[in-house]
Amino acid sequence: MKAAIVGVTGYTGIELIRLIQQHPQLEVGTLHSHSMHENSSVLYPHLIGLTERLIEPFDAEKIQKENQLVFFATPAGISKELAATFVANDFPVIDLSGDLRLKDRDSYQKWYHQEAAPAELLAQATYSLPEFATTPGNLIANPGCYATAAILAAAPLVQQKLFSGTLIFDGKSGLSGAGKKLTDSSHFATAADNMTMYKPNQHQHIPEIMQQFQQWDQAMPPIQFSTSLLPVKRGIFMTLYAPIKDAISQEDIYEQYVKTYQDHPFVRVQPLGKLPELRQVTGTNFCDIGICFNPLTQVLTVVAVIDNLGKGAAGQAIQNFNRWAKIPETTGLMQAPLYP
């Protein structure tokens, strides 16, 4: 099955090529970019001998003629304009941007600061965090990277109402999460040997997280959410601080995490008391989770680590493809982490 990639020159698009190359039922199809039209191996020499295709301007008709599905690896604001043609023809779309994640159009406009997708397009989109989603249809909204880590970190607590008070999330991302466009914050002189916080309580993944939590608990209170840049290339280190209700033990909480994820191969709950490191998921579609509990403060610390380009983007998109195609969701995704 051939898959087109729109927005192929970004980090997520390049990661999709890498994953499709090793997938037994997918083949790299046509490649598309708004501004960069060159052979893929000229722009990216690491693809020589692997994927040497011309990167072309967007052409919906050609994509549908020469492929069986399309991945949108574009910035926010693009797929909501381009996907309608495919949806009208019932052509499968997996959108890795934020355009189709939020069902509330006003919420999208508030957090993304632009016009939302048409209501009829949003109504057809399935927000698909694979561990908790139903089998998706032909229009899949792939979750955001911070949202993936935060939801997986907190799901057992929210679903079982084990906490009391405010959930506090502290997310830290590698620089590839900021995209390829150079800014002062991503400049080597700023990022190296440094850590900077950005968008505290203003990150666009917050409403996405709340949308999922409120499906489990309509009375879910607002969350505290901060994000920072780490001087590493890839990865998200999400720390959750959760005030736990009285009379709930660490063992009970741990048992709930194990039970929640025991049938989900890409979420690896660490032994009790063991917290994961970022590098143990680099280059993979895994989310590793560990917990520790302070009985003096009744606060649970949860650490969830993912590769922002893997489980946070392209890897999860392939996982969603697998579920859509009704093949084992691990197909093409069981890479060992890059270590060291």
Each residue's pLDDT, cut to its tens digit, for the chain (340 residues) gives 999 999 999 999 999 999 999 999 999 999 999 888 899 999 999 999 999 899 999 999 999 999 999 999 999 999 999 999 999 999 999 999 999 999 999 999 999 999 999 999 999 999 999 999 998 999 999 999 999 999 999 999 999 999 999 999 999 999 998 777 778 888 888 899 999 999 999 999 999 999 999 999 999 999 999 999 999 999 999 999 999 998 899 999 999 999 999 999 999 999 998 999 999 999 999 999 999 999 999 999 999 999 999 999 999 999 999 999 999 999 999 999 988 8
Does the pTM exceed 0.95?
yes
C-alpha Rg value of the chain to the nearest Å: 20
Map out the domains of the chain as residue ranges: 1-142+311-323, 144-304
Residue 142, CA distances (Å) to 73, 211, 312, 320 in order: 10, 14, 9, 8
| CATH architecture assignment, domain 144-304 | 2-Layer Sandwich (3.30)
Cβ contact 186:129 at 8 Å: no
Give me the pLDDT at residue 211, please.
98
Cβ contact 126:137 at 8 Å: yes
Report how far Cα 320 is from the mean position of its chain's Cα atoms: 11
Four-point Cα dihedral 241, 245, 251, 253, nearest 10: -60
Mapped onto helix, strand or coil, the DSSP state of residue 300 is: strand
Return the active site residues. Answer: 145
Residue 19, CA distances (Å) to 134, 285, 327 in order: 23, 10, 16
Phi, psi of 2 (to 5 degrees): -90, 135
Give me the pLDDT at residue 185, please.
80
Residue type, 195: M
- Crossing angle of helices 145-159 and 206-216, in 10° steps, is 20
| Strand extents, DSSP E, 93-147 | 93-95, 126-127, 139-141
Mapped onto helix, strand or coil, the DSSP state of residue 314 is: helix
Dihedral sign computed on CA atoms, order 310, 313, 314, 318: positive
CA angle 75, 81, 87 (to 5 degrees): 110
Token pair of 251 as six digits: 């063992």
Give me the pLDDT at residue 286, please.
98
CATH of span 1-142+311-323: 3.40.50.720
Dihedral sign computed on CA atoms, order 208, 211, 213, 219: positive
Q: Rounded distance, CA 281 to CA 50, Å? A: 24
Q: Could you read off the pLDDT of 222-264 as tens digits, one per residue? A: 999 999 999 999 999 999 999 999 889 999 999 999 999 999 9
Residue with the two structure tokens 């009208």: 88
- Total residues belonging to the chain: 340
Q: Could you read off the pLDDT of 185-211 as tens digits, one per residue? A: 888 888 999 999 999 999 999 999 999
The closest of 327, 322, 316 to 285, measured between CA atoms, is: 316
Q: Rounded distance, CA 47 to CA 52, Å? A: 7
